[in-house]
Structure 1
Amino acid sequence: TNILASDHDFQHVISMRKFERTLTFRGCYLHVYAGCPVRQVALECASQGLSGMEFLIGIPGLLGGAITMNAGYFGHDISQRLDEITFLTVDGELLSINDFKFKRRYCSVQEMEGAIVAGKFRLDKSCEAEVRGVLEEYTQRRKATQPLGHPSAGGIFKNHSLLPKILPYLEKTRIGDAEICMSAPNWILNKGKATFNDVMQLIRNLQTLAKERLNENLELEIKVLP
């Protein structure tokens, strides 16, 4: 998720769905493999009465990608709970990494060649009812603030608070089947058969306006594979 890929073919694509997806709880620690769906992580933690991963509810994709992108929402992110990463290098070496750097939608493993195999997380003891209450609250907030009815690559820009200031000057909010969601303008929706170029043209138009009108650079949150 959070990837915008061009329309041509790619080589050497790793399918995370082929990775192990088992979760193991030991006290307040969770060991989970990279192929586990993020939603499942949130729900399994709730069933164990452990809090700290509720923010993952509603985030699409698998755990390996969530670590790589330091996924987060509601003021929380992966970095606040991650204790250790198991990483497989391109040479076949299995590493345990507990010294990594984070920032918004970034983990330093992005600079390494290989793939995340698993992660270990620190959680807090709570009760199932309380954790499920938080899950429901977060689910409703997502439904109220995010356009979940159409496919998209997720939030486009990190500094998206600039968008309302430039949208009135945008000539087109739709190119082909790619359309900016006016109720949540950091999302570009696929209304049919949107292409990579359709979406990129909207992104470039917004970046150009931000520079011309505000002298600001709109920084991409999504990863673009040209």
Structure 2
Amino acid sequence: MRSIEKKYVKNYIPSVNGTIKKDFNLSRLTWFKVGGRAEVFFTPKDKDDLINFLKKLDKDAPLKILGAGSNILVRDGGIRGVTISLVKSFTEISYLKNQKVSAGAGVNCIKLSRECTSKSLTGLEFFSGIPGTVGGAIKMNAGAYGQETSDILEKVITVNRNGKVKEYNKKDLKMSYRKNSLRKGEIVIQAIFKCKIGKKITIQNNIKELKKRREKTQPVKLKTSGSTFKNPIKFKAWKLIKLSGCSNLKKGGAEVSSLHSNFLINYGVAKAKDVEDLGKIIIDKVKKKFGIKLDWEIKIVGTKNKYRKYFND
């Protein structure tokens, strides 16, 4: 009897004030528009709801965080366990003293850049070229146009798998190219950025120029997840890909962008497997040509075959 009771607790989905959806289709939430379903998709109502859920959730339950879906490839088999989305509840932006700005993890980076511009705050213009969330930008130290999130970050607030809230100064995170020292399972819920006072017209013009540059060099209107591979030290991934003969390379419904070689495109019929397989072909070709191994920048999550259920119905 005890083993039965233990199993029931282990596979228990805690009650919430937000929303729980089972076998939820994730493909429509990702920029690639591919991938399977989430066994459990949880949107917390607020910070307390998230904390209470994590405190009650079985610590062995698989857990993923989904932001804007702009830097992720969900495999066709979907995601086992719990997928949490913060984009509807952790969206508050507030302005503090000394040109500091607080933003919830679910705030869209482009929106934050626009809001700061309206307050004549400079420093976050490069966020206008990052279509992800604040939480995602911190987790991967996202960057664009020669700047990185760490350049303007001051403080981060997280909650761990036990529901414990922690606060980190930037120096504690040891941020470097596309990574930081946050422990696995720590969920970013808020960040504080240090901006400067600037001239609104100058900030607006800078953002316009960055937008023109982005639209000219990146396939922003197609189904893609941005830069596919990280830049190796002293090299540009797009250049290695192009010189390896991968321009316009195809696999199923996925194809290398003719506009930017480090972007993979879903032209409408691709499966997640097509995108991942195409990426592997590129990795092999670059390795063979230059002896350099490309590392994925986009996060690949989920299972290739239908996920094995973790929770009881």
TM-score (norm 2): 0.68
Partner of 2:201: 129
1:187 to 238, 263, 281: 263
| 1:86–1:94 contact (8 Å) kept in structure 2 | yes
How many residue pairs get matched? 223
Cα deviation, residue 108, structure 1: 2.1
Partner of 2:177: 104
**Structure 1: 5+ residue stretches without partners:** none
| 1:180–1:188 contact (8 Å) kept in structure 2 | yes
Counterpart Cα distance in 2 of 1:207 and 1:44: 39
Cα deviation, residue 196, structure 1: 1.4
Partner of 1:145: 217
Cα deviation, residue 114, structure 1: 2.7
2:111 to 40, 47, 50: 40
Counterpart Cα distance in 2 of 1:187 and 1:154: 6
Partner of 1:14: 84
SS at 1:24 equivalent: strand
Counterpart Cα distance in 1 of 2:123 and 2:129: 15
| 1:19–1:34 contact (8 Å) kept in structure 2 | no
1:163 to 221, 235, 241: 241
Amino acid at match of 1:100: L
| Identity, % of aligned positions | 29
Cα distance 1:166–1:45, how it changes in 2: closer, same or farther (>3 A)?
Answer: same
**Structure 2: 5+ residue stretches without partners:** 1-69, 232-236, 303-313
Cα-Cα RMSD: 1.5
Counterpart Cα distance in 2 of 1:108 and 1:154: 23
Cα deviation, residue 181, structure 1: 0.7
Partner of 1:113: 185
- Structure 1 stretches of 4+ moved >6 Å: none
TM-score (norm 1): 0.93
| 1:19–1:117 contact (8 Å) kept in structure 2 | no
Cα deviation, residue 9, structure 1: 2.3
| 1:24–1:31 contact (8 Å) kept in structure 2 | yes
| 2:241–2:247 contact (8 Å) kept in structure 1 | no
Partner of 2:148: 77
Cα deviation, residue 171, structure 1: 9.6
